[in-house]
Amino acid sequence: MDRLPKIALPAVITIILLIILISKSAVTIGSGEAGVLYRTFGDGVVTDEPPLGEGFHIVAPWNKVFIYEVRQQEVFEKMKVLSSNGLDISLDASAWFQPKASDLGKLHQEKGEEYKERILLPAIRSAARSVVGRYTPEQLYSSKRDAIQQEIFSETQKIVDDQYIQLNEILVRDVTLPATIKEAIERKLKQEQQSLEYEFRLISADKEAQRQRIEAQGKADANRILSASLTDKILSDKGIEATLKLAESPNAKVVVVGSGEDGLPIILGNN
């Protein structure tokens, strides 16, 4: 009985040490994450092997694992930029991005866990200032929003592409101009709209006038052709035909007396 505690104590100590060792060695990597291994007694950050994937891993207790989110993320940025004529513009943008999983070790070694603040956000600011500086406030307010967004994306992508960051999209969510400039632009746009409307009315009126002139000319040409084709003989024949039809009518009594100056019969009658 005296020897039992002496045997049990080392066993308990060994079990405790094993539990501590396993807890220090066990690493669980969650969904959408990857781990960068750091070998304390080796070459430091492992860059020549794929990062640790999702799931449970056992590593030496003296080594470390740095976990990164590798799925798509979003970062927001509000910034002040200058237009081409030097006016202050407030730009509200966001970026969709993710670290390049295959280069995660290099990203950790060269940029660190704060790579968004050190690399991505400064790149977005630089690209936005460069792009917005090419446009006037009128262009920023109206038709150039999509073009500006695409240009900021392209320029930011050039900066971060060799920084182990995959840029998926840049979204320009809002462009805020100084109040006085915005009001002036809105007045100008309203005047342009009214001018276009007035011009449209003038064009419509001109087209209608042309239509009426063409229609009147057509009628005049038709009457001229008809007048040229009506001879005295044709008119006499037409008058005789009309006289005969009237004489045949049961509702009229017709008396033909001589002829008129134009050679047509003179018709008298009572209904």
pLDDT digit string (tens) for 158-173?
A: 999 899 999 999 998 8
Note the pLDDT of residue 203.
79
| Residue 88, strand partner residues | 82
| Residue 165 and residue 121 share a domain | yes
Same structural domain for residues 166 and 92? yes
Q: 158 and 101 share a domain?
A: yes
Range of the domain at 259: 232-270
pTM: 0.61
- Nearest CA to 89 among 195, 182, 169, 11? 182
Question: For 57-116, what is each residue's pLDDT tens digit?
Answer: 888 888 899 999 999 999 999 888 888 777 788 888 999 999 999 999 999 999 999 999
Contact in structure between 44 and 63 (CB atoms under 8 Å): no
Question: What single-letter amino acid sits at 38?
Answer: Y
Q: Which of 69, 85, 108 is the last residue of a domain?
A: 69
- What's the CA gap between 152 and 129, in Å, rounded? 9
Q: State the total domains in the chain.
A: 4
**253-257 and 266-270 as β-strands: parallel, antiparallel, unpaired?**
antiparallel
- Per-residue pLDDT of 201-260, as tens digits, reads 777 777 877 878 888 887 777 777 766 665 666 656 666 666 666 666 666 555 554 555
What is the CB neighbour count within 10 angstroms for residue 46? 21
40 and 87 belong to one structural domain: no
